[in-house]
Structure 1
Amino acid sequence: MPLPSSSSSSSSSSADGLRSIGELAEQAGVTVKTVRYYSDQGLLPEACRSAGGHRRYAPQASERLRLIRSLRGLDLPLPAIRRILDRDGAPGSVDQDALDDAVARHLRELGSQMSALRWREAALLPLRDAAPDERADRLRLVGAIATPPDTTAMARFWRRWLPARLPARVTAMIIDHAVPQPPDDPTPEQVLAFARLHAFVTGNCPGDNLDECQPAVHRPEEGYRPAVLYDGLVDAYALASTQLRARRTPEPGEALDCFVDAYATSRRTGDTAPFRRALHGQLASDPRVDHYWQQVAAIRTPGSGASEPTPGAAHDWLTEALAADIGLSAA
């Protein structure tokens, strides 16, 4: 069978050192169509055209073609390959900076894709293992989050939950501590916890009335200073976390005093027994976000191992310590 016309007509002039498109394709182990495509894309320049209009390539084109194939084998896109090859005139070399940038960018993209696949796998396992009467609920939960998931809804929840006049720096600090980052390689339990957390924050405060979203302790009388409150709560939670790590029962002490003082100072009043009783009643009557912090703990620490206390756990410990203090005072 005769060769394609482009190869047969060009091979007769191979003595000039140039290669026909067919010769180049055969040498590189690719099809003529592949060589023509890379030429049309500007990746494989022609040396000239024959009298009959056929493409002619310099001997160095075979090395450039091998480089193109190697880069395509890494699944790098054509624009990236063009930048890598076009910045250097030597046919067998590449622009190292452009190559580094392309590899780094491709690794980031692959990492994101792999993270999405790991989340999808971890989301499918609870569906596979669930009892028939649980599957619909689990499907609703895991189907509502993106893969890989983001934390936009959690951050939005905290911006609505926190006092409106809180300084931006304090709000940013609280959100940074309160919003868990999705693990790169989640367990099925972590996926379910993240899905439950997402359902909680997206189902909370459906209206635009902030009074429905914020707890009563964020809406006290005129003169309330929210920045003072949260600066003090940071210290109180740190002290309570020490008690939690030591597995101490909630009780009056330095941590509780710091906790109460934060509320009292923010309202320009003193720490008295009546104030403590009123504060406990206010905290107990407000909607709590215990469910939120339970899911955060499950996301951050899979399995049954000990975890770093969350701000929610510290708050619970201090509230119980306040209740114990009121009981002792009343006695």
Structure 2
Amino acid sequence: MKSVRFYSDRGLLPEASRSGGGHRRYGPEALERLRLIRSLRALDLPLPEVRRVLQDEGVAGRVLEGVVAGRLRELGSELRTLRWREAALRLVGECPPAERAERLRLIGTVSMPPSTAPLARFWRAWLPARMPARATAAFLEVAVPQPPEEPDPAQVLAFARLHAMTTAPCPGTPQPRPEVHRVAGARGAAVLYEGLAEAYELAGPQLRRARDPHPGEALDAYVAAYASAFGSRDTREFRRLLAPRLAAEPRLDRYWELTAAVLTPPGSRPEPTPGTADDWLRAALERDNAGAA
């Protein structure tokens, strides 16, 4: 058989001897070895890996465990890529003809599955340059959405738009930085975002319950974070002056809107993001100031 000669020529199935006519002869253990080789090849293991398993005493060796684990990781990556490609194809196939050119252009700029590196670069350019690495990593972990394992076409479109937005240059001027970065400096900004993370976490349950913005523990943590960054105290006057300094930034608002779309499968209620939490807290601050006027 061709497969027997193939494995024999590559040293996977050693022959015991040859007949006078040059025919290969194999020992009684060759059949079991051939079955093992075929089983390993049926699992799509490449020949070098099959050789490693055979040299490690076959199924009893530890090499097989490592080879199988490695192949499972590879298959997981391949399956994820295929799921993203399938969703991208559905996105193009199911959209109105007038929108296909734009969607193809967007998808063509994104790898499958997509990389989050451009999103991280977007935020690194926005954060203070000398902000401590640990604080920057903690911020990026929250700010950069991880692509879903099994995306819906709408999630593919949202990520492609997010990629396009974060890689496009700001029109006319460099990417604007918030005033608080200049005032607080790199280390002060690290303290600020640590405090804001606490405030966002406290606001999360209010957002999930769709409660209207209101003063409370979350707002107190939010104001305290800014008071620390600006070298002030949380007073009524500080709250009144803080509100206009926290004007919405359309580009960041769009970022968080797309992030929510990436993270939320269609038909599900969006999970709070730092952007939606910040919107809620700014609105709570406005309400608190109006109530105290």
Per the normalisation by structure 2, the TM-score is: 0.89
> For residues 221 and 74 of structure 1, do their structure 2 counterparts lie closer, same or farther at Cα, with a shift above 3 Å needed?
closer
Q: For 1:78, which of 47, 51, 65 is the aligned residue? A: 47
Instruction: List alignment gaps of at least 5 residues for structure 1.
Output: 1-29
* Equivalent residues of 2:180, 2:189 under 8 A apart: no
For 2:36 and 2:257, locate their aligned partners in 1 and report how far apart those are by CA, in whole Å. 53
Q: Of the two structures, which has the highest relative contact order with CA contacts closer than 8 Å and spacing of 6 or more?
A: 2
Q: C-alpha deviations, 1:45-87, integer Å up to 9, x for none?
A: 1223456665432232222222212211221100110011112
Q: C-alpha deviations, 1:188-244, integer Å up to 9, x for none?
A: 11111111111121125599x9x6353333222669711221121122112222322
Q: Which piece of structure 1 moves more, 221-230 or 179-188?
A: 221-230
Q: Tell me the percent identity.
A: 57
For 1:222 and 1:111, locate their aligned partners in 2 and report how far apart those are by CA, in whole Å. 43
Q: Which piece of structure 1 moves more, 222-231 or 304-313?
A: 222-231
Residue correspondence of structure 1 range 210-249 to structure 2 within 5 A? 212-220=175-183, 225-249=188-212
Number of the residue aligned with 2:239: 276
For 2:92 and 2:211, locate their aligned partners in 1 and report how far apart those are by CA, in whole Å. 39
* Equivalent residues of 1:127, 1:135 under 8 A apart: yes
1:47 and 2:10 aligned: no
Structural RMSD (CA):
2.5
Q: For 2:286, which of 323, 327, 330 is the aligned residue? A: 323
Q: For 1:298, which of 256, 261, 268 is the aligned residue? A: 261
* Equivalent residues of 1:252, 1:325 under 8 A apart: yes
* Equivalent residues of 1:215, 1:286 under 8 A apart: no
Q: How far is the alpha carbon of 1:273 from its aligned partner? A: 4.3
Residue correspondence of structure 1 range 74-223 to structure 2 within 5 A? 74-88=43-57, 93-205=58-170, 212-220=175-183
For 1:315 and 1:239, locate their aligned partners in 2 and report how far apart those are by CA, in whole Å. 11
Q: How far is the alpha carbon of 1:110 from its aligned partner? A: 1.5
Q: Alignment partner of 1:250: what SS? A: coil
Segments of 4+ in structure 1 off by > 6 A? 221-224
Q: How far is the alpha carbon of 1:305 from its aligned partner? A: 2.5
Q: How far is the alpha carbon of 1:272 from its aligned partner? A: 3.8
Number of the residue aligned with 1:25: none
For 1:272 and 1:288, locate their aligned partners in 2 and report how far apart those are by CA, in whole Å. 30
* Equivalent residues of 2:162, 2:255 under 8 A apart: yes
> For residues 78 and 219 of structure 1, do their structure 2 counterparts lie closer, same or farther at Cα, with a shift above 3 Å needed?
same
Number of the residue aligned with 1:262: 225
Q: C-alpha deviations, 1:105-138, integer Å up to 9, x for none?
A: 1121112111111111111112112112211111
Q: How far is the alpha carbon of 1:316 from its aligned partner? A: 0.4
Number of the residue aligned with 2:252: 289
Q: How far is the alpha carbon of 1:319 from its aligned partner? A: 1.1
Q: How far is the alpha carbon of 1:318 from its aligned partner? A: 0.9
Aligned residues: 293
* Equivalent residues of 1:276, 1:322 under 8 A apart: yes
Instruction: List alignment gaps of at least 5 residues for structure 2.
Output: none
Which amino acid letter does the alignment assign opposite residue 151 of structure 1? T
Q: For 2:33, which of 59, 64, 67 is the aligned residue? A: 64
1:252 and 2:215 aligned: yes
Q: C-alpha deviations, 1:277-328, integer Å up to 9, x for none?
A: 4432222164551111112222222123223311111100111122223334
For 1:172 and 1:112, locate their aligned partners in 2 and report how far apart those are by CA, in whole Å. 25
> For residues 154 and 234 of structure 1, do their structure 2 counterparts lie closer, same or farther at Cα, with a shift above 3 Å needed?
same
